[in-house]
Amino acid sequence: MRHPLFAKIAALAAVTLLLLFGLGLIEDVVRDRQRYRAEATRSVAQSLAGPQTLLGPMLHSACVESWDVVSGSGAERHTTEQRREFLLTALPEQLQLRTGAAMEERARGLHKVNAYTLKAHVTAQWASLASLRPEGTVKGSRMQCGAPILMVGVGDARGIRTAQVEVDGQALALKPGTFHPVYARGLHTPLPEALRGQDGPVSASLDLELVGTERLAIVPLGGTTEVQMQSGWPHPSFGGRFLPSERQVTGAGFTARWRLSSLATTAQQDVAESRKICDSAPADSLSYDAGESGGKGQGPGGCTDSFSVGFIDPVNPYSLSDRATKYGVLFIALTFVAVGLFELMGNGPHAPPLRGSLPPEGAAFLSGGGPAMKKLRVHPVQYLLVGSALCSFFLLLVSLSEHLPFGASYAIAATACVLLLGYYASHMLGSLRRGVPFGALIGLLYGLLYVLLQLEQTALVVGALSLFTVLAAVMVLTRRVNWYGLSPARPAQAAPEAA
């Protein structure tokens, strides 16, 4: 072969493409497992209850205003009735919630879903119910209003376990539904008509036990809203429009407190205008709308203001495996560089002859010249086997992490691959003193990858510094290599004989 170096580079390029194809298939497996996990979460939500949103308590009353309109004159004179339907609402001046969430892990096959049981004690106070008194817009109109209704809206009514309510110290019976045109899921109780004309304050207290999965959102409906939440879950994710004013997160759980004023949120106006609540995940929740930026409301897409707590699992084996797989190309490249360095440096002037090595087709010279040596040659098939072992690590990782903790799965998969590659490299590179350092380098790569997976804020800077260190080491080790000497020297052409 006239250009063995170029032929080997082409073979290595083909091997790399084949390994990239294999990595792509492994990434597809990880995505499939992620999709199965999402389906398991949806299955639990469909059988139990989905993410919950808590709205209320609030008071509302449906009213109809009607009036007569006379048209024509004389014998053609006739009267038609026109009507206007509207909803009166009374939102609390003070709203206090004391909640505790107990976690209940549910599973579908191999996949676990974080469910919770929320026990909430809610108290609400209204200064007066003047907003429930209808006012006509047409002189001489007739007004008809339904009885005032106290309602509490939830994201998924199937999650309601028990509920008890008292209004001004009197226990009332609760019924399903809310009779609200937008926030339809929840419970309600009719109130006496006499409360509509009451000038004094009205108070209500509610004890609610609610089951949900993964997420809880609360609408700050009061003029002043105070929410205190505690749970034994040590990994809360606070989201929505407001973060807690106080929070304490430990290994035994968390405690959070929100204090909000109607001056800081548009929740009261949003609910009065029956805007949708967009913080809940499922489409069949309290009144869900994905929403986009902009719109009439202060929240995204004109949605009602709310805040939420997500009961997330920070050690999601599929997300970590997906992140690890994205480093697969870098792993293969660095490993091939390491093999190439061993192959190159093993051909120095003092390299011992290797058993089974092929006769050299050309002499390799280090800078400064040197005697011709037998070359340490690594076949492209051997590169392929080394790369395949690297790819199998990611498949082992995702499969083991479904049954074991992620740290243990990573340790088992990495140890197996390091031992296999160290053993193979001892024969591929011709001696144990080359195979052991090669296996140690692979182990160092796996250790670096595990550190990167645990980091979030500093993963980029650690990865960049590590790559720079590797590049610097390669440049230092190859600083004296005569790269032109790696190609077989062309025979000198004979000078033409003199005539």
Question: How big, in percent rounded to 5, are the helix, strand and coil portions of the chain?
Answer: 35, 30, 35
3 state SS of 366: strand
> What is the rounded CA–CA span in Å between residue 390 and residue 417?
7
What secondary structure letter does DSSP report for 131?
G
Tell me the backbone φ, ψ of residue 401, rounded to 5 degrees: -70, -15
Under 8 Å between Cβ of 210 and 168: no
> What is the rounded CA–CA span in Å between residue 141 and residue 82?
10
Q: What is the pLDDT of residues 88-114, one digit of tens each?
A: 999 999 999 999 999 888 877 777 788
Indicate the burial class of 426 (C-beta count within 10 angstroms; 0-12, 13-18, 19 or more): middle
Assign 3-class secondary structure to 259-314: EEECCCCCHHHHHHCCCCCCCCCCCCCCCCCCCCCCCCCCCHHHCCCCEEEEECCC
For position 2, what pLDDT does the model report?
59
List Cα–Cα distances, 27 to 20, 51, 302, 325, 334, in angstroms: 10, 29, 38, 7, 20
3 state SS of 191: coil
> What is the rounded CA–CA span in Å between residue 482 and residue 167?
91
250: left (phi over 0), alpha (psi -120 to 50) or beta: beta
Give the residue from 245, 224, 200, 261 showing the smallest Cα distance to 95.
224
Domain boundaries, given as residue ranges, for the chain? 4-35+318-347+378-479, 52-67+85-132+143-280+304-314
For position 55, what pLDDT does the model report?
93
Which residues, including other chains, have CB under 8 Å from residue 433's CB and lie 6 or more apart?
none
For position 284, what pLDDT does the model report?
38
Pairing of strands 52-71, 170-172: unpaired
Under 8 Å between Cβ of 56 and 153: yes
Q: What is the pLDDT of residues 49-64, one digit of tens each?
A: 889 999 989 999 999 9
Under 8 Å between Cβ of 57 and 151: yes
> What is the rounded CA–CA span in Å between residue 18 and residue 388?
10
> What is the rounded CA–CA span in Å between residue 323 and residue 483?
36
Q: How many CA atoms lie within 13 A of 187 on its CB side?
A: 20
Enter the tokens of residue 278. Answer: 């967009």
For position 355, what pLDDT does the model report?
40
List Cα–Cα distances, 196 to 149, 201, 361, in angstroms: 10, 11, 102
Architecture of the CATH domain 52-67+85-132+143-280+304-314:
Sandwich (2.60)
Tell me the pLDDT of the chain (499 aa) as tens digits: 556 667 777 888 888 888 888 888 888 888 888 888 888 878 887 888 889 999 989 999 999 989 888 887 777 778 888 888 999 999 999 999 999 999 888 877 777 788 899 999 999 999 888 888 888 888 888 888 888 999 999 999 999 999 999 998 899 999 999 999 889 899 999 998 888 877 788 999 999 999 998 899 999 999 999 999 999 988 898 988 899 999 999 888 999 999 999 899 989 888 888 888 875 443 334 443 433 333 333 455 578 889 999 988 766 777 778 778 878 888 788 888 888 777 777 655 434 443 444 344 333 333 333 343 345 778 888 888 888 888 888 889 888 888 888 888 889 999 999 999 889 888 888 788 888 888 888 888 888 888 887 776 677 787 788 788 888 888 887 787 777 666 655 554 555 554 4
For position 347, what pLDDT does the model report?
58
